[in-house]
Amino acid sequence: MTEVKDLEALFQAKIDAEQKIEPKDWMPEKYRKNLVRQVSQHAHSEVVGMLPEGNWITRAPNLRRKAILLAKVQDEAGHGLYLYSACETLGVTRESTIDDLLSGKAKYSSIFNYPTLTWADIGAIGWLVDGAAIMNQVMLTRTSYGPYARAMVRICKEESFHQRQGYEIIAVLSKGTPEQKDMAQDALNRWWWPSLMMFGPHDGESAHTAESMKWKIKRESNDELRQKFIDRTVQQAEVIGLKVPDPDLKWNEERGHYDHGEIDWKEFWNVVEGNGPCNHERMKARIAAHENGRWVREAAVAYASKKARKKQAA
């Protein structure tokens, strides 16, 4: 019999040779667990992420914006589904994955625990939040687990319009009346730091980084991705005449990157631990949606089996 140690060496050799791991392949239990955690958390983020934007669908300023926002939110529902499906290939049921979200055992991205106070926030979310997510997701198209990588390719194709529609909203506002420009700047002020937090703790403090990199689940570190995001986004803010709310932000000629101020990690952990402005509201909305949908799920099963019986009788 092949020893687990040999299997692990074979597994690592596959990863090192840039071969994808597929559902039926042998994998270390920790690799599987690590992926279940990450992929399910990613799926929950897509789903919970619909709530702050859904808040503005009925109040979008015109029909064009409304159709766009609806399409974007619908995409996010699809992203949730692709990821739940990828998660299921790791041997966990859809039901238990969703139960873990609703019981609070599983996390979702903390960014969605911030409120969308004005229409400019919808612009800021597309530009910054989707922008930050894209950095991470583009990296994940090369992740070592096949179903996760394939879901990411599909997601990335759909994401690019999300960021562009958001930037367009902010750009239009920043060219508008003084009040509109203020609104755009205020949204940037409130979303900038939480967006940087989306990349997670610094590399030295990140619990899963070393293992995730060894197994090529992740291919770039939190700090590397964050830096890339900052470098691109600062230029975009300049183009539309908005100011990034970081007094320490400075171009570093030597590094070829922007230096930036320190992130408020106390705030980060506080929101992760459930004390953000909207944690409670988001969970309440998800639980209500799940409970209110129960009769629909049951009715669909009853209807399907009735149809099947009729077909058999005919």
Contacts of 160 (CB under 8 A, 6+ apart): 134
130 binds, among another protein, Fe ion, none (CB under 5 to 8 A by kind): Fe ion
Which is nearer to Fe ion, 114 or 258 (by Cβ)?
114
Alpha-carbon gap, residue 111 to 194, rounded angstroms: 6
Alpha-carbon gap, residue 75 to 3, rounded angstroms: 44
DSSP character at residue 19: P
Which is nearer to another protein, 135 or 151 (by Cβ)?
151
Q: Is 226 in the site for Fe ion (CB under 5 A)?
A: no
Which is nearer to Fe ion, 67 or 304 (by Cβ)?
67
- The CA distances from residue 142 to 36, 219, 290, in Å, are 17, 8, 33
Q: Is 286 in the site for Fe ion (CB under 5 A)?
A: no
Answer yes or no: are the C-beta atoms of 191 and 125 closer than 8 Å: yes
CB of 45 to Fe ion, least distance (A): 8
Mark 132-161 with x for binding to Fe ion (rule: CB under 5 A) and - for no binding: ---------------------------x--
CB of 94 to another protein, least distance (A): 6
Residues found near another protein in the complex (CB under 8 A) = 22, 24-26, 71, 74-75, 78, 81-82, 85, 88, 93-96, 150-151, 154, 158, 297-298, 300-301, 303-304, 307-308
151 binds, among Fe ion, another protein, none (CB under 5 to 8 A by kind): another protein
Alpha-carbon gap, residue 32 to 69, rounded angstroms: 35
The single-letter code of the amino acid at 296 is V
- The CA distances from residue 33 to 2, 28, 84, in Å, are 22, 9, 15
CB of 134 to Fe ion, least distance (A): 8
246 binds, among another protein, Fe ion, none (CB under 5 to 8 A by kind): none
CB of 301 to another protein, least distance (A): 5
Which is nearer to Fe ion, 72 or 218 (by Cβ)?
72
Query: H helices within the chain, ranges in order?
Result: 4-16, 29-48, 50-54, 63-88, 94-102, 119-124, 131-140, 146-174, 178-197, 209-214, 222-239, 265-270, 279-292, 294-313
Using alpha carbons, select from 191, 197, 257, 188 the residue that is nearest to residue 222.
Answer: 197
For residue 57 the two structure tokens come to 């669908």
CB of 72 to Fe ion, least distance (A): 6
Among 100, 121, 130, 246, indicate the residue that binds Fe ion (CB under 5 A). 130
* E strand or H helix that includes residue 257: strand 257-259
Which is nearer to Fe ion, 27 or 52 (by Cβ)?
52
Mark 56-95 with x for binding to Fe ion (rule: CB under 5 A) and - for no binding: --------------------x--x----------------
Residues in contact with Fe ion by CB under 5 A are 46, 76, 79, 130, 159, 162
